[in-house]
Homo-oligomer: A and B are copies of this chain.
Amino acid sequence: MRIGELSERTGASRRLLRYYEEQGLIESDRRPNGYREYGDAIVDRVLQVRGLLDAGLPTRVIKQILPCLETRVIHVADATPETIATLEGELDRMTERIRCLTRNRDAVAAYLDAVRRARR
**B-contacting residues of A (Cβ < 8 Å)?**
48, 51-56, 65, 67-69, 71, 73, 75-77, 79, 84, 87-88, 90-91, 93-98, 100-102, 104-105, 107-112, 114-115, 118
- For A101, give its contact among B55, B69, B109 (CB under 8 Å): B55
- For A97, give its contact among B55, B65, B69 (CB under 8 Å): B55
- Whether B100 and A95, one on each chain, are in contact in the complex, defined by CB atoms closer than 8 angstroms, is no
In whole angstroms, how far apart are the Cα atoms of A30 and B55 in the complex?
A: 35
Contacts of A114 in B (CB 8 A): 73, 76
Contacts of A108 in B (CB 8 A): 65, 68, 87, 90-91, 94
Smallest CB-CB A-B distances: 3 pairs: A56-B56, A51-B100, A68-B111
